[in-house]
Chain A
Amino acid sequence: KNQVEQSPQSLIILEGKNCTLQCNYTVSPFSNLRWYKQDTGRGPVSLTIMTFSENTKSNGRYTATLDADTKQSSLHITASQLSDSASYICVVFSGSARQLTFGSGTQLTVLP
């Protein structure tokens, strides 16, 4: 069964600090991996989309990495801000199966 596991479930950091969120997946065949940010009470917003050949992709202070061999991805947030407080969701797309598998998210809280 296709699965996407995220860790940690929740994380609290101080403003200005860096953090890394993890995503492990068992989806096959793999087409791309996406990271979304979901603010409380809002819909998810896309941060990055990475295909098999991409190891790293950045979007401002967000940097995603992908190791397709070990089926792992990480999202690194640099110099965190209060506005980074949100749930971060990892999603894996299998094109041939036309299926998106969503992780349950990591809830990040940034404190002043």
Chain B
Amino acid sequence: NAGVTQTPKFQVLKTGQSMTLQCAQDMNHNSMYWYRQDPGMGLRLIYYSASEGTTDKGEVPNGYNVSRLNKREFSLRLESAAPSQTSVYFCASDATGGFNEQFFGPGTRLTVL
């Protein structure tokens, strides 16, 4: 039981490049979330998926897109990376879809030059 896994662990991009961050959970959870964590700030919600087939914007969705591929997988895409998107990205999941106890992945550290 791996919990929530994320790939890659580290990534360096040039401004304007695109990439997709992958997240998978094996806990049969309904809801999945993407957050970003910046120094000196609390985690901020980018997008979430309350259940398979649905996605909703969070606090800071601009510059990102998401896909809930199936119940297990939730990906985050940066179409044209900007230096302001340099951050640590965390994926999380919870069982019931009501922002209940969330389980976090290990994070992806992204640097945009």
Contact = CB atoms under 8 A, between A and B. Distances in A.
Contacts, number: 41
B104 A45 contact: yes
B106 A42 contact: yes
Classify chain B's interface size.
10 to 19
Interface in A6-50: 34, 41-46, 49
A105 B42 contact: yes
B5 to A, nearest CB: 11
Contacts of A91: 42
Contacts of A43: 4, 90, 92, 104-107
Interface residues of A, number: 21
A100 B76 CA distance: 20
Chain A contact residues, majority secondary structure: strand
A101 B107 contact: no
B102 interface: yes
B42 A104 contact: yes
A90 to B, nearest CB: 9
Interface of B: 4, 40-45, 90, 92, 98-99, 101-107
Interface of A: 4, 34, 41-46, 49, 89, 91, 93, 95, 98-105
